[in-house]
Amino acid sequence: MQRLLNGQILFAVILLALNSIYASQLLTMRPPFATGEPGPTFLPYILCLFVYGASVHIFFVEFRKRSVSQAGEMSSYVPRIGLVGPVVAIGLSALFIIAFFFVGYLAATALYTFLMSLFFNYEQDGTWGSALVRSALTAVVVTTFGWLFFVVLFDLYLPVWEL
């Protein structure tokens, strides 16, 4: 018999609850196009819609599964991925927040993206060489596009590492 409440569904419920609290705060902000151009509230609105969409997607995927398979929670390369994966993701996210304060956007984002990608790339195929190369490319692309998006497109200030 299939369990109705698994880890993914519980995650989606928590995500919906937290996102709803976040969305309630958006209503107190100016509309994203109050001046005719995308303003500082534009990205939070997009993020909120994305999280709602992702949560609904999780529900659809999980409820359409016919059987709960433990194979999805196993990895040939990372033992106990069901426990290790979330711990690594939360730990790296905390490191990113701390690093962002001290070293700024470029270094913190590049390091965070590289380490997160390295973990998932290694978990996927188990080869360090391939994981390192793909992670480095991912870090460069994500960091560059993030910088272009915030600084060039929206003319927002991102802190940089100043010696």
Structure tokens at 60: 């659809």
Measured CA to CA, the distance from residue 54 to residue 46 in angstroms comes to 12
- pLDDT > 90? residue 65: no
Buried b (16+ CB within 10 A) or exposed e, 116-147: bbbbbbbbeeeeeeebeebbeebbeebbeebb
Residue % of the chain over a pLDDT of 90: 18
What is the maximum span of the chain, computed from C-alpha positions, in angstroms? Answer: 60
Same domain for 86 and 157: yes
Same domain for 143 and 119: yes
pTM of the model: 0.58
Band (pLDDT 50/70/90 cuts) for residue 111 is very high
Same domain for 80 and 62: no
Angle in degrees, CA 137, 142, 143, rounded to 5? 100
- pLDDT > 60? residue 97: yes
Same domain for 115 and 54: no
Looking at the structure of the chain, the number of domains it has is 2
Same domain for 87 and 61: no
Helices 81-125 & 128-147 angle (0-180, nearest 10): 100
State the number of CA atoms in the 13 A half-sphere of 93 facing the CB. 6
Same domain for 57 and 98: no
* Domain around 6: 1-68
Band (pLDDT 50/70/90 cuts) for residue 66 is very low
> 3-class SS at 156?
coil
